A = this chain, B = another copy of it.
Amino acid sequence: MARGGESVLTRAVRILAAFGSGDTSLRVSDIAARADLHPATASRMVAELVEHGLLTRDGDRRVRIGLRLWELASRASPAVSLREAVMPFLEDLHAVVGQHVQVGVRDGTEVLFVERLSAPGAVINYTRIAGRLPLHASSSGQVLLAHAPHEVREQVLAGPLTRYTPNTITDPDRLRATLAAIRRQGYAYCPGHIHSDALGVAVPVSDGRQPAVATLSAIVPNDGNGRAVIPVLLTTARGITRALRSNH
């Protein structure tokens, strides 16, 4: 019974995880293939998830993430509470900086982006809401890694450190020195680390107790003028800290 139970939940999670960013609908056969389940099992599990509203069927024999799942996940989510506290500041920042501004939190050895505002025609950016990037490569990730517990930092430094561009930091010693500089300076500056056309600049967001419960970043063109966003990011992060502190 315990094993049967465990396996139902595991399979349910595998089915939900089959939906990638932007896959708003999938066929049951695609779900079965991606979740590595027998088609009959996938079909039965999908039916069960539909019954609970966690998935819905659309007209075309395709399946979508259900509103009920989004509601259950969002209603009491720390990610959504953070987003709500951050949003007015992010709007002001976006009005001034344009381009992309975003907020991320650390989940394991990755940064998970909980909010992003983008201008039409802004520079290329690989971030999506509810998307992830590894900690060593992006400005957001480096800020979170600089303030992560010792074990997490050592785990990431032990590699592998994936290269995205010639500018990505893939040498552990250089990464260690960069993280120390971020703790000293208060920001991460990553010109062309993920894409050569884009500059990422990120600062930590404190809740008044921990130094980096989240990170605030801007992705701007990598044209040599990007340092101008550092003061406005630092100022905005202080405003967010004040708002988070008053929520305690």
A163 proximal to B (CB < 8 A):
no
Set of chain B residues within 8 Å of A8, measured between Cβ atoms: 4-5, 8-9
A65 proximal to B (CB < 8 A):
yes
Stretch at the interface among A71-79, A198-206, A229-237: A71-79
* Distance A52 CA – B15 CA, assembled complex (angstroms): 13
Main secondary structure of the interface of A (DSSP, over half): helix
A130 proximal to B (CB < 8 A):
yes
Using a Cβ–Cβ cut-off of 8 Å, how many residues does chain A contribute to the interface with B? 56
Chain B min CB distance to A107 (Å): 5
Set of chain B residues within 8 Å of A73, measured between Cβ atoms: 16, 65, 69-70, 72-74
Chain B min CB distance to A41 (Å): 10
Residues of A within 8 A of B (CB): 1-2, 4-6, 8-10, 12-13, 16-17, 19-24, 44, 48-49, 52, 54, 64-65, 67-81, 84, 87-88, 91, 94, 105, 107, 112, 114, 117, 120, 128-132
